[in-house]
């Protein structure tokens, strides 16, 4: 490898371009004969090179990045020729026999940074900027990226997390707002039904602060915030849509897939998800970078903890909260992180339409409104409103939030947001096919396994079927008798309902008080 790269670096002769009728699908492949003038006898194939034509009259050069395969002498290519696979040749767009040069990729100083991180050394912002750019541009094979990511999960200092956040943000065009305060809220997730954003954003908008909220769709849960908001309105917004919605309604609740698209995440997630690589510190850098891209100045972070939550203990949540606040401060964001109890779902509904039903109950002051959903929403809304100098404290913020909620102003604000984003003509309702799951034995409910409940809801069809999910009838701390209803499964089709019922029969997710202690 090193011999080959050194040969490329030193080469001054040109290679003649030849098309090779091989379909390499999405991979750009360059073919060099083993007797090439570059001397590739030691090359084993995992590296990449830049293949470039000659500069035109304006000084521009056509180039692509390609993986090199070595072929036997005399088979396809002469010693002074380079071949490109069908897709690579078309992408480069130069005629056959054009003069081509190869450039070593990645540059040595980038590779030095990667090796330093793999060895556990701390990198600075300039090194991360160089390294991530080369990774995004495809200069490294997956094996080396995987090694880098494993090393990064093991050793990232607070300063490195801040550097990564700034560098990652630099890969996107940030939104700019002519506002002294632009607020946002983020949750580490993992708690089914905790759809407080659809309550918090209207409260904040009714008060008058700008809240351009971008949210994700579900990956492993029964609904993400974007999935729930999509029950009411269009969420696939452009930047112009977001600006217009915030101008008209003071807030939006949009899907982040288009707005916060990250080329870094595209590359990293393709590797980390199959390998199960997970790092809270890497996540903090990603989250903070997205808030910078959104143009936020103040961010509230919800850190739920519990035996089956992403964060297992209050101490772990508080430690991560300190990191959020430290990193936020280092990049110019005011961040307040709050550890919250995640012993069970929040609200009754699990699944997009059922969660929206709960949200509307809270906003409309209905007697069926889940008290825990209302209280958590008021707590976070109050914290956010306290950033307004006219409010100043969380206590006054909560009182103001309750006033806006109880007066109906927040409900009107949600209507304004929905109208600005694009109201759905037909609002999905909870699915009509149902099955009631009942307690098998008496006792006090000590825990509700959110992952289990979400799994049953997904089996019923959520989040793709907006009406599918679970309607919880009992909460943690309730006493139940054998045969008493615990929850109702909603599905739109018989097979999905049967599958969800079968899954619930194996484990309904409800753990009685004595049993919870045995599971620790």
CB-based contact 385:401 (threshold 8 Å):
yes
The tokens describing 266, both together, are: 């595209």
In the three-class reduction of DSSP (H, G, I as helix; E, B as strand; rest coil), residue 457 is classed as: helix
Which segment of 90-94, 156-160, 258-262, 448-452 scores lowest on mean pLDDT? Answer: 258-262
The pLDDT assigned to 240 comes to: 94
The tokens describing 484, both together, are: 């008493």
3.10.450.40, 3.90.1170.30, 3.30.930.10, 3.40.50.720: CATH of 433-519: 3.90.1170.30
pLDDT at 42 over 90: no
Of the candidates 510, 432, 427, 506, the residue with the CA atom closest to the CA atom of residue 468:
432
The Cα 403–Cα 389 span in angstroms is: 18
Which segment of 309-318, 384-393, 397-406, 416-425 scores lowest on mean pLDDT? Answer: 309-318
Of the candidates 292, 339, 69, the residue with the CA atom closest to the CA atom of residue 165:
292
SS (H, E, C) 92-157: HCCCCCCEEEEEEECCHHHHHHHHHHHCCCCCCHHHHHHHHHHHHCCCCCHHHHHHHHHHHHHCCC
Confidence of residue 173 (pLDDT cuts 50, 70, 90): confident
What are the tens digits of pLDDT across the range 239-248?
999 999 999 9
pLDDT at 12 over 80: no
Confidence of residue 462 (pLDDT cuts 50, 70, 90): very high
Give 78's strand partners.
none
Region 222-232 average pLDDT:
95
Rg of the chain over Cα atoms, rounded to whole angstroms, equals 27
Confidence of residue 47 (pLDDT cuts 50, 70, 90): low
Which segment of 26-40, 346-360, 458-472 scores lowest on mean pLDDT? Answer: 26-40
pLDDT at 56 over 60: yes
The second-level CATH assignment, the architecture, of 183-266+278-283+290-421 is 3-Layer(aba) Sandwich (3.40)
Confidence of residue 289 (pLDDT cuts 50, 70, 90): very high
The Cα 162–Cα 170 span in angstroms is: 13
Active site residue 35: no
What are the tens digits of pLDDT across the range 491-518?
999 999 999 999 999 999 999 987 755 5
What are the tens digits of pLDDT across the range 351-396?
999 999 999 999 999 999 999 999 999 999 999 999 999 999 999 9
Mean pLDDT of the chain: 89
What are the tens digits of pLDDT across the range 310-351?
898 999 999 999 999 999 999 999 999 999 998 889 999 999
The pLDDT assigned to 34 comes to: 86
pLDDT at 8 over 60: no
Query: Among the options 9, 80, 266, 278, which is catalytic?
Result: 278
Phi first, then psi, for residue 48 (nearest 5°) are -130, 155
Which segment of 12-21, 77-86, 98-107, 297-306 scores lowest on mean pLDDT? Answer: 98-107
Residue boundaries of the structural domains of the chain:
2-105, 108-155, 183-266+278-283+290-421, 433-519
pLDDT at 3 over 70: no
pLDDT at 189 over 60: yes
The Cα 265–Cα 493 span in angstroms is: 35
The pLDDT assigned to 516 comes to: 53
Residue 154 CB: number of other CB atoms within 10 A? 11
List helix spans (H) across 192-336.
197-207, 225-229, 239-249, 256-259, 263-275, 280-293, 314-330
The pLDDT assigned to 201 comes to: 98
Domain 2-105 has CATH 2.40.280.10: no
What are the tens digits of pLDDT across the range 72-105?
888 889 999 999 999 899 999 999 999 988 776 6
User: What b-and-e string marks burial along 228-241, b requiring 16 or more CB atoms within 10 Å of the CB?
Assistant: bbbbbbbbebeeeb
Which one has a higher pLDDT value, 496 or 216? 496
The pLDDT assigned to 61 comes to: 84
User: What share of the chain has pLDDT > 90, as a percent?
Assistant: 65
The pLDDT assigned to 44 comes to: 40
């Amino acid at each position: 490898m090193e011999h080959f790269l050194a040969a490329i670096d030193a080469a001054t002769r040109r290679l003649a371009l030849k098309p090779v009728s091989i379909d390499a699908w999405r991979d750009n492949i360059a073919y060099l004969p083993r007797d090439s003038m570059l001397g590739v006898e030691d090359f084993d194939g995992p590296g990449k090179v830049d293949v470039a034509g000659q500069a035109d009259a304006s000084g521009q050069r056509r180039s692509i990045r390609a993986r090199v395969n070595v072929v036997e002498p005399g088979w396809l290519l002469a010693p002074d020729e380079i071949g490109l696979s069908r897709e690579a040749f078309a992408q480069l767009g130069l005629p056959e026999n054009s003069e081509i040069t190869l450039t070593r990729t990645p540059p040595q100083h980038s590779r030095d940074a990667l090796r330093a991180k793999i060895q556990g050394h701390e990198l600075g912002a300039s090194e991360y900027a160089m390294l991530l750019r080369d990774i995004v541009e495809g200069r490294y094979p997956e094996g080396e990226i995987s090694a880098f990511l494993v090393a990064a999960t093991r050793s990232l200092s607070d300063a490195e997390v801040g550097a990564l956040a700034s560098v990652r943000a630099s890969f996107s065009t940030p939104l700019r707002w002519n506002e002294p305060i632009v607020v946002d809220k983020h949750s580490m997730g993992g708690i089914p039904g905790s759809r407080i954003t659809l309550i918090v954003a209207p409260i904040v908008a009714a008060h008058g602060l700008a809240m351009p909220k971008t949210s994700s769709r579900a990956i492993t849960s029964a609904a993400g915030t974007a999935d729930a908001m999509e029950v009411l309105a269009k969420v696939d917004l452009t930047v112009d849509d977001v600006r217009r919605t915030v101008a008209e309604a003071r807030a939006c609740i949009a899907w982040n897939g288009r707005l916060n698209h990250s080329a870094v995440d595209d590359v990293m997630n393709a590797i980390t998800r199959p390998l199960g690589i997970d790092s809270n510190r890497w996540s903090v850098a990603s989250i903070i970078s997205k808030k910078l891209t959104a143009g936020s100045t103040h961010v509230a972070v919800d850190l739920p903890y519990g035996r089956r939550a992403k964060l297992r203990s209050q101490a772990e949540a508080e430690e991560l909260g300190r990191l959020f606040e430290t990193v936020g401060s280092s990049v110019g964001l005011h961040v307040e992180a709050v550890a919250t109890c995640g012993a069970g779902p929040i609200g009754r509904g699990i699944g997009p339409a059922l969660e929206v039903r709960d949200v509307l109950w809270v906003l409309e002051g209905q007697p069926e409104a889940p008290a825990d959903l209302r209280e958590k929403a008021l707590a976070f809304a109050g914290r956010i409103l306290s950033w307004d100098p006219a409010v100043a404290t969380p206590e006054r913020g909560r009182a103001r939030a309750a006033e806006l909620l109880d007066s109906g102003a927040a409900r009107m604000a949600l209507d304004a947001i929905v109208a600005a984003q694009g109201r759905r003509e037909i609002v999905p309702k909870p699915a009509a096919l149902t099955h009631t799951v009942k307690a098998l034995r008496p006792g006090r409910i000590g825990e509700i396994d959110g992952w289990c409940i979400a799994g049953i809801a997904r089996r019923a069809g959520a989040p793709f079927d907006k009406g599918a999910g679970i309607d919880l009838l009992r909460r943690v701390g309730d006493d139940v008798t054998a045969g008493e209803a615990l929850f109702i499964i909603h599905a739109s089709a018989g097979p999905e309902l049967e599958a969800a019922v079968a899954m619930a029969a194996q484990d309904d997710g409800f753990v009685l008080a004595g049993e919870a202690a045995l599971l620790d």
